[in-house]
Structure 1
Amino acid sequence: MDWNKSIANMINHMSLQSWPGVMIESLQALAHFDTWLIATYKQQFKPIVVHTSYQIESQKKIHRFLNKAYLLDPLFNAIENGLNDGLYRLRDLAPDQFNNTEQYKSCYSDFDLSDEIIFVTRLDNGVVFTISLGRTSKLGGISRVELNRLKSVQPILQAMSKQFWIAQSSQYVHDEQSRYSLEHAINTFGSNVLTPREKQITALILQGHSSKSISESLNISVGTIKVHRKSIYMKLDICRESELFSQFINHLHTLS
């Protein structure tokens, strides 16, 4: 199917629940990808899955991620910090050590993703509509040519996403559940032992920032960051970052 026919087909389905599947099929003509996840984010609510390629077993991991661990996700935090409409590579949104974090190991590595791009569209009422397209290692990274093709259709997808959500949002909003913010989760994590500065550094460690990145963000020396990290580990009675991540995820369960 040529691209003009694909656009016509997407327009025909734009107000129907079938649009996400039709849209994904159409995009395959512009770039090859083998995983996808369409989700919405909205202020005080947990993310909602609209459409995904992941099978039942993998969907359980996706829903565990969207229920708790999304608070540490690069895309979520970029959206919280005002990410504009556009097309982004996940690796460009992620902190410098994200691929070495327990968050990455527990939520990303099992999916064998070598590259992921995300269309971001801000809708009315604080809703952010995201279309994530992934490539596993067998396909390799997305080429510059493919990326440019996808960038060229971003305005079309943005307009269609808005119309789809206007027509179909009522089918999904029943899944909305209030959430807590990362700030609240961090402020109540180790609340009896960690200082405000240590909580701030803990949040950045959990998100995947290196000591160098944290020092640049907070404008303090790398040596000071290392002293704080040692103090955090001692106060929480842990020895490594994996234990910090586990304690934090367990803490999130207590907030439910």
Structure 2
Amino acid sequence: MIPTLQDMAWHRAAGQLIERLDKPDFWRALTRLVSEYVAVDSWAVLLFSDSRPLAFAESPYEGDGPDPFIHDYLQGLYLLDPFYIANREDPATGLFRLADVAPERFKQTEYYQLYFTHFVEEDEVHFNVQLDEVRTLCLSLGSRQRFSPEQVSLLEMIRPWVAGLMRQRMFFEGTRAESAPRPAARWQDNLEEAMERLGTPLTARELDVIRLILSGCSNKEVAGKLAISAETVKVHRRHIYAKLNIKSPQELFSLFLKAHAEA
């Protein structure tokens, strides 16, 4: 089989990336190569674990100062990220689409409307590389338009190359990776620690319900994840709202942000 010019161009570019594995601009060079085949409008490289994610690199921010989304994401919004939640529930290597991991009501959440649509915009895919039992290296690609089935197929086709390069790059991210915060007993405990600062006693089950509601899960999805009935979810929701003296998911999201800002 005679390789096409496009095949030859890819192999040449991938070879050049191998030579750049130890360079500061490696991640930018990798995403630039991927975007030659599939249009990408934003990107970030994250290390997921049971603690706060680490950001190794992200697309240049056009405003003044650091990217506010990355800052807020690392402060606590990651607990509402469907990619982070899916990875913590079932860590795995592969290519993952937003449509595969987002709960039913994700687009109705404050996280989606106030953050996702402004910084990621329309769609997102992840190249995930599971490094060990706890850590997963993630390359997030965002787009102003939905990724087409053809584009997803192409990303899946190049995934072995991308995943291999990502895994090899970790040898040169050692210092930062080793400085990661010590994992909590459960990644959900990070929310409990933050909400405790509000001074309102919430049970562990109520905190689980809060996290799932804010991430966009319907009552049915919450019930399925917690192995309780949908009616019990409604009861927990009423108790949460009464304890926090709120009446809407919007107010709950505001308290969530306040808790993590104070943390």
Scaled to the shorter chain, the TM-score interval is: 0.7 to 0.9
Taking the aligned partners of 1:15 and 1:188, their CA distance within structure 2 comes to: 37
1:236 to 235, 244, 260: 244
Gaps of 5+ in 1: none
Map 1:124-163 to 2 at 5 A. 124=132, 126-136=134-144, 140-163=145-168
Taking the aligned partners of 1:55 and 1:11, their CA distance within structure 2 comes to: 29
Contact 2:52 2:74 in 1 (8 A): no
Partner of 2:92, secondary structure, is coil
Contact 1:16 1:168 in 2 (8 A): no
Taking the aligned partners of 1:177 and 1:218, their CA distance within structure 2 comes to: 27
Is 3-12 or 237-246 further displaced after alignment? 3-12
Q: Which residue of the partner structure matches residue 81 of structure 1? A: 89
Contact 1:9 1:22 in 2 (8 A): no
Aligned residue type for 2:77: A
2:33 to 26, 29, 42: 26
Partner of 2:54, secondary structure, is strand
Q: Deviations over 1:198-247 (max 9, x none)?
A: 33322211221111212233344333322321222122100101111111
Partner of 1:95, secondary structure, is coil
Aligned residue type for 1:24: T
Aligned residue type for 2:160: P
Map 1:112-123 to 2 at 5 A. 113-123=121-131
Taking the aligned partners of 2:213 and 2:82, their CA distance within structure 1 comes to: 13
Q: Which residue of the partner structure matches residue 56 of structure 2? A: 49
TM-score, length-normalised on structure 2? Answer: 0.84
Q: Which residue of the partner structure matches residue 17 of structure 2? A: 10
Aligned residue type for 1:182: Q
Kindly state the Cα deviation for residue 177 of structure 1 after the two structures are TM-superposed. 4.3
Kindly state the Cα deviation for residue 89 of structure 1 after the two structures are TM-superposed. 0.7
Contact 2:45 2:140 in 1 (8 A): yes
Q: Deviations over 1:176-213 (max 9, x none)?
A: 44576422423773675434433332221122111121
2:222 to 214, 224, 235: 214
Kindly state the Cα deviation for residue 31 of structure 1 after the two structures are TM-superposed. 0.9
Identity of aligned residues (%): 26
Taking the aligned partners of 2:248 and 2:153, their CA distance within structure 1 comes to: 41
Aligned residue type for 1:189: M
Gaps of 5+ in 2: 1-5
Taking the aligned partners of 1:200 and 1:20, their CA distance within structure 2 comes to: 35
Contact 1:46 1:179 in 2 (8 A): no
Aligned residue type for 1:145: E
**Corresponding position: 1:110 with 2:128:** no
Is 142-151 or 118-127 further displaced after alignment? 118-127
Partner of 1:141, secondary structure, is coil
Kindly state the Cα deviation for residue 56 of structure 1 after the two structures are TM-superposed. 3.9
